[in-house]
A and B are shown apart, each in its own frame.
Chain A
């Protein structure tokens, strides 16, 4: 209902969302369209990774972005108290206030391209693979959410950082392509230190039958769990610094 307040803008958002999706696929086709093999990935296999990125990105903007903005604004305006006083989990309340639907078409497009490319490639995915892909997809979402929440919680420590919510989305390009694209210290950083390159790469590797190392899968699941626990602990620790305004 809130989104329909500015209907033209909502329609524009839908169009723009579709345009960004088309733009991403177009751009990848311009760079890799003529390549037969990119570090072991064919162009169609790259589309699988890009589709996973599109789906995760659509969910990220739909679910996380507005809520993180609301959260940091509540901190900066001293209005967090109303959430802290509620008899429910504060983190849950803070991150489920607003959900936007204008990225839903993006998610659907990502899913359609993913399925159609998988059919084109004639990939055979077992039930176990499907469950693993789903688990890794959820892990990817949780990883982004936790990282973003930690950054948003930093708003309790700094005077005012307007763009604190732009940092995590700033890293999204990293998981637009498979992890093998990165080399040297960058590959190490995005695979182990801040394993953001694994978000779409691992499920992509499972779908395309590249059999990613089990140790890497377990590492990513462990890193995601660690990140989620860290986000929770950091919030519990940081909230002590919060001082409200007025009544």
Chain B
């Protein structure tokens, strides 16, 4: 059962190696906005030691963690997958014992592993260089913290995968996906804690943030590894049920979407 998807994973792993230069460029492009952002914070902290309980080195640490989580958990397959659906090229997966969703996951995982192998060293090097310019609070973590954090990263990846998949599946109704893709970026950035520590946001945003599960991608893991929160059974259950909910929505969307699909020719 798993063997066929493993073959896809291996294929994508090898194929992704062709795009090494692109990956290196993406690392630089991912880091640059944060680099500018840290200068903005440095300017905001001019003449102040603490803003909303944060010092500048703590803010830098926060964004370093955001950068790391973003690189590990993000999924960007919406554009070409939506085109694939729009052009009626997924017949293959509907007529054979082959799950389209699992195929997307296998390929994305294959590409992700190569992407991480190439980009994480680059990202760490960029962080070291940035820390020479802007002060950063050192992070001390235990093995348990690191393990739980790794668990959060895996969960974050699957959550981001689900959201990206929703965009792809909505193509069955909306035809194009580019606008939806940006809508996803804004929503995730705004409601996950990736944009700014939640303490800096207004009350209305904090209320939305509290309800949505997006916080488990960035804000909760960061707060956990910084030692601001503990992994309680309640938190564990909340995370688990949020994930189940996202998987459930994906399954419902797929089951509805597949009936809307039509293609012509061979």
Q: Hey, which bits of chain A sit against chain B, CB under 8 A?
A: 6, 8-13, 15-16, 19-20, 23, 27, 30-32, 34-35, 38-39, 158, 161-164, 166-167, 170-171, 173-174, 176-177, 180-186
Contact A31 B196 (CB under 8 A): yes
Contacts A161-B25, A166-B29 given; indicate if A177 touches B43 (C-beta within 8 A). Answer: yes
Contact B180 A12 (CB under 8 A): yes
Looking at the assembled complex, report how far the CB atom of B44 sits from the nearest CB atom of chain A, in whole angstroms: 5
Contact A32 B179 (CB under 8 A): no
What residues of A have a CB within 8 angstroms of the CB of B26 in the complex? 163, 166
Contact B29 A23 (CB under 8 A): no
What residues of A have a CB within 8 angstroms of the CB of B190 in the complex? 23
Whole-angstrom CA separation of A177 from B35 in the bound complex: 13
Q: Hey, which bits of chain B sit against chain A, CB under 8 A?
A: 19, 21-22, 25-26, 28-29, 32-33, 35-37, 39-44, 46, 51, 133, 174-180, 182-183, 186, 189-190, 195-196, 200-201
What residues of A have a CB within 8 angstroms of the CB of B186 in the complex? 16, 19-20, 23
Q: Sorted from nearest, which 4 A-B pairs have the closest CB atoms?
A: A9-B176, A12-B179, A6-B176, A170-B29
Looking at the assembled complex, report how far the CB atom of B130 sits from the nearest CB atom of chain A, in whole angstroms: 10
What are 24 A-B pairs with beta-carbon distances under 8 A?
A6-B174, A9-B175, A9-B176, A9-B178, A9-B180, A10-B179, A11-B179, A12-B174, A12-B183, A13-B179, A13-B182, A16-B183, A19-B182, A20-B186, A32-B40, A32-B44, A38-B43, A39-B43, A163-B29, A170-B33, A174-B32, A177-B40, A182-B39, A183-B42
Interface contacts beyond A13-B178, A181-B40: sample of 6 additional A-B pairs, CB < 8 Å, sorted by A: A9-B175, A9-B178, A15-B183, A38-B44, A161-B25, A166-B25
Q: Which single residue of chain B is at the shortest CB-CB distance from A35?
A: B44
Contact B174 A38 (CB under 8 A): no
Which one of A11, A31, A170 lies within 8 Å of B41 (CB-CB)?
A31
Contact A163 B22 (CB under 8 A): yes
Contacts A23-B190, A161-B21 given; indicate if A8 touches B174 (C-beta within 8 A). Answer: yes
Contact B195 A27 (CB under 8 A): yes
Whole-angstrom CA separation of A196 from B231 in the bound complex: 45
Contact B32 A9 (CB under 8 A): no
Contacts A16-B183, A166-B25 given; indicate if A173 touches B32 (C-beta within 8 A). Answer: yes
Looking at the assembled complex, report how far the CB atom of B183 sits from the nearest CB atom of chain A, in whole angstroms: 5
Whole-angstrom CA separation of A181 from B134 in the bound complex: 13
What residues of A have a CB within 8 angstroms of the CB of B33 in the complex? 170, 173
Whole-angstrom CA separation of A16 from B179 in the bound complex: 6
Whole-angstrom CA separation of A125 from B86 in the bound complex: 52
Looking at the assembled complex, report how far the CB atom of A36 sits from the nearest CB atom of chain B, in whole angstroms: 9
Contacts A16-B182, A39-B43, A163-B25 given; indicate if A176 touches B175 (C-beta within 8 A). Answer: no
Looking at the assembled complex, report how far the CB atom of A151 sits from the nearest CB atom of chain B, in whole angstroms: 10
Contacts A12-B179, A19-B183, A176-B36 given; indicate if A170 touches B28 (C-beta within 8 A). Answer: yes
